[in-house]
Amino acid sequence: MKDKHILITGGTGVLGIYIVEALLADGFTDIEVFSRSGSRSSLPFASNSNVTFTKGDVAALHPLTEAIERSDYVIHAAAVVSFHPKRFDLMHTVNVEGTANVVNIALESNVKKVIHISSIAAIGRSEKSGVISENTSWGNSKYNSYYGITKYLAEQEVWRAHHEGLNMAIINPSLIMGGKAWGQSSLQIFKKVYDGLPYFTTGSTGIVDVQDVAKMALSLLKSDINGERYIASGGNISYKDLFQKMAFYMDRKAPKKPAPKWLMSIFWRMEKVRSFLTGNEPIITRETVRSTSHLSSYDNQKSIDLGWGEYAELDEILERYCVEYKVFRKKGTV
């Protein structure tokens, strides 16, 4: 199997980089990285002869079709992550229509298996707090983000293709902690904490080491598992503890007070005005206020039973990547 052609969409993203590294470490010799980014000089595997690069967008059939047609397996990690309502159309195009393209071409090309990287946001959040598992049903809720909606709809495309004969598995990572792709997606949280947060929000979430998600993707790729989804989460943590621990490991001032609802309402409205005037994406939105104020806990037992390995401890994850970020920040490289 290790000589088979493996295509990774979004292979230069937060998770994609680590998936490529996991494949190389496991001995795979024919890996194709498909991404919208034309730059690869900073990637750790940029000059590796076992890796080829294709610039393209999953929302466009060319050159995606050609890339999938020459592949035996596909790991679909490409997605747009945003909590800005104005980016909904772009997220729908890439996350939903792009996923439909991937699975449709994979069906026509007799790809042996597709691993779809989804998100815990695709499972949904209910009005009431509670433990979320793979069996939790999606429901309309104000706590579901626009991003989460697009990832849910993307999963429906994967399930539809599965019913049409596609061999597939889905991974739903919680908040990914990692390095290398600083400034992208969930890793923006490092900059926010480093620059200083005056308050912490009152919700909770799950966090996971990016390397553990990559290992799980590799395990599912090599397994006979078909038609299953797995929550990938190392553990649950309050945003208070998350922000305070990150600040400690980066030697920064930690937020000590909970953010009052009235103040957060002012913040996201001010950000909306600033975004309109500058054209820059807002740092805080109504969505981020709601999601980070919601108590969300995730059940990872099904993924543990998969037998791919053990999750890294939460403190070990945070210390490792916070120290790494601090070094890069002091060098002025992030």
- How many domains would you assign to the chain? 1
Q: What is the pLDDT of residue 127?
A: 64
Task: Note whether residue 82 is domain-resident.
Answer: yes
Which two structure tokens, joined as six digits, stand for 122?
Answer: 């695709």
Report d(CA 78, CA 15) in Å as an integer.
Answer: 9
Highest mean pLDDT among 31-40, 123-132, 143-152: 143-152
Task: Note whether residue 162 is domain-resident.
Answer: yes
Task: Note whether residue 57 is domain-resident.
Answer: yes
CB 294 within 8 A of CB 143: yes
Task: Note whether residue 287 is domain-resident.
Answer: no
Task: Note whether residue 323 is domain-resident.
Answer: no
pLDDT digits (tens, 9 = 90+) for 70-118: 999 999 999 999 888 888 999 999 999 999 999 999 999 989 999 999 9
CA 27 from centre of chain: 25
Task: Note whether residue 10 is domain-resident.
Answer: yes
Q: Whole domain around residue 53: which residue ranges?
A: 6-176+208-232+298-312
Task: Note whether residue 85 is domain-resident.
Answer: yes
CB 244 within 8 A of CB 322: no
Name the pLDDT band for 129 (thresholds 50, 70, 90).
low
Which two structure tokens, joined as six digits, stand for 171?
Answer: 């991974």
Q: Kindly state the average pLDDT of the residues 145-152.
A: 94
pLDDT greater at residue 281 or residue 44: 44
Task: Note whether residue 170 is domain-resident.
Answer: yes
Give the domain CATH number at 122: 3.40.50.720
Name the pLDDT band for 314 (thresholds 50, 70, 90).
very high
| Model confidence, pTM | 0.94
- Report residue 73: phi and psi, to 5°: -135, 150
Burial class (CB in 10 A: 0-12, 13-18, 19+), 96: buried
